């Protein structure tokens, strides 16, 4: 069986790379260009960069910095953060970003996303669903400012794929982010059975078994890794790295 995609997910704060735990307490990791050079050498499948502060700070993507990253990256490159207009999408595609990840724009102006899909195709847009379990109730999607979204997770996934027309979903577990305790396999399985587009699982990966489980037992199309991609081990220092594919492939 061929190995599915494993994607380093790098968080950018507008200055450098950081890593969060449950979307809080970002720790400085280093310069994104240096990380991308290392990932080139390791021949990673794809790369995700998310500017975690752009929407909160109401600023546009740093197009100049992203152009530098895209020109350095030898792999498919996806970016999310601060994208608000059709022109933002156009600029990102022109500088070499293959996929744009949307999140807050889904609530703010979904018609723009529909226009982009019509112009560039569904494969060019990825919708990120941040989800967590509230104090009371079931796991649900949340906006970047912490507000619960009116849909259930299943309803939201259907809305994004059927109404908005995005070509891929990224399921980002807030509760598992940075914990090294594994992906949310329950939600991933549930939504894989709901939609007909590729699904990227994100949040919580801590070892090779987590990758095997999410990719081959849950059957996600791709697995994003954060802490494993920037730390040597849990509680240890920064080390830009990528897991050995041969140790993850499960033969039929």
Residue 235 pLDDT exceeds 90: no
pLDDT in tens, 62-117: 999 999 999 999 999 999 999 999 999 999 999 999 999 999 999 999 999 999 99
Distance from CA of residue 197 to its chain's centroid?
15
Q: What is the DSSP letter of 180?
A: -
Tell me if 8 sits within 8 A of 202, measured CB to CB: no
List the domain boundaries for the chain. 5-236
Half-sphere exposure of 161 (CA within 13 A, CB side): 20
Q: At what angle do helices 86-94 and 110-120 cross, to 10 degrees?
A: 40
223 CB-near residues (< 8 Å, 6+ apart): 4, 5, 6, 7, 183, 200, 201, 202, 205, 211, 214, 215
Provide the CATH topology of domain 5-236.
Answer: TIM Barrel (3.20.20)
Q: Where are the beta strands (DSSP E) in the chain?
A: 5-12, 17-21, 24-30, 47-51, 77-80, 99-102, 125-132, 140-141, 168-173, 199-202, 222-225
Residue 224 pLDDT exceeds 90: yes
Q: What is the pTM of this model?
A: 0.95
Q: What is the enclosing helix (H) or strand (E) of 210?
A: helix 208-212
User: What pLDDT was estimated at residue 129?
Assistant: 97
Distance from CA of residue 4 to its chain's centroid?
16
Residue 2 pLDDT exceeds 60: no
Average pLDDT in the chain: 94
For the chain, how many helices (H) and strands (E)? 9, 11
User: What pLDDT was estimated at residue 60?
Assistant: 95
The predicted model gives 124-153 an average pLDDT of 91
Q: How confident is the model at residue 26 (pLDDT cuts 50, 70, 90)?
A: very high
The size of the chain, in residues, is 252
Give Rg (Cα) of the chain: 17
Interatomic CA distance for residues 7 and 45, integer angstroms: 6
Q: Which is the catalytic residue, given 51, 130, 177, 184?
A: 130
Q: Is 130 a catalytic residue?
A: yes
Per-residue exposure over 106-142, b if at least 16 CB sit within 10 Å of its own CB, e if not = beeebebbeebbeebebebbbbbbbbbeeeeeebbbb
């Amino acid at each position: 069986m061929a190995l599915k995609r494993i994607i380093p997910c790098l968080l950018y704060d507008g200055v450098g790379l950081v890593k969060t735990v449950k979307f809080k307490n970002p720790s400085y990791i280093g310069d994104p260009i240096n990380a991308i050079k290392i990932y080139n050498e390791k021949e990673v499948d794809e790369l995700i960069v998310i500017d975690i502060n752009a929407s909160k700070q109401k600023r546009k993507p740093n197009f100049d910095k992203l152009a530098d990253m895209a020109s350095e990256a030898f792999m498919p490159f996806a970016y999310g953060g601060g994208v608000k207009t059709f022109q933002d999408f156009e600029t990102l595609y022109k500088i070499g970003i293959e996929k744009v990840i949307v999140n807050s724009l889904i609530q703010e102006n979904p018609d723009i996303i529909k226009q982009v899909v019509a112009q560039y195709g569904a494969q060019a847009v990825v919708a990120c669903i941040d989800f967590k379990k509230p104090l009371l109730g079931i796991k649900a999607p949340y906006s970047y400012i912490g507000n619960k979204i009116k849909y259930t997770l299943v309803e939201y996934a259907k809305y994004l794929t059927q109404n908005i027309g995005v070509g891929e979903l990224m399921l980002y577990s807030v509760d598992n982010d940075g914990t090294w305790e594994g992906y949310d396999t329950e939600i991933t399985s549930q939504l894989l059975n709901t939609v007909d587009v590729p699904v990227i699982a994100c949040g919580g990966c801590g070892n090779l078994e987590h990758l095997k489980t999410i990719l081959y037992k849950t059957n996600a199309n791709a697995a994003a890794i954060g802490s494993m991609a920037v730390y040597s081990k849990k509680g240890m220092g920064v080390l830009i790295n990528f897991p050995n594919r041969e140790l993850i492939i499960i033969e039929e």
